């Protein structure tokens, strides 16, 4: 895991086409924006986990 310290207005690049923009720091929270190509899905971890669970359930009921 890479751990970075960033300030508001700074950007983190992931590969050639994904960027994280640090928008706001408020106490223990960081607000950031994500720019990614239209074909790249961006989800919070808990949402992504539910998507995976739903897909697994569908695969079991539709073999």
Q: Is the pLDDT of residue 63 over 80?
A: no
Determine the Cα–Cα distance for residues 2 and 15; give it in Å rounded to an integer.
14
Residue 62 — pLDDT band, cuts 50, 70, 90? confident
What are 7-59's pLDDT values in tens digits? 999 999 999 999 999 999 999 899 999 999 999 999 999 999 999 999 999 88
d(CA 11, CA 33): 9
Helix (H, G, I), strand (E, B) or coil at 44: coil
- pTM assigned to the model: 0.76
Q: What would the pLDDT profile of 22-36 be if each residue is shown by its tens digit?
A: 999 999 899 999 999
């Amino acid at each position: 895991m890479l751990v970075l310290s960033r300030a508001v207005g700074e950007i983190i690049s992931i590969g050639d086409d994904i960027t994280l923009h640090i928008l706001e720091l408020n106490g223990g929270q960081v607000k950031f924006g994500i720019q990614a190509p239209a074909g790249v899905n961006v989800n919070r971890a808990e949402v992504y986990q539910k998507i995976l669970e739903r897909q697994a359930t569908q695969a079991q009921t539709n073999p």
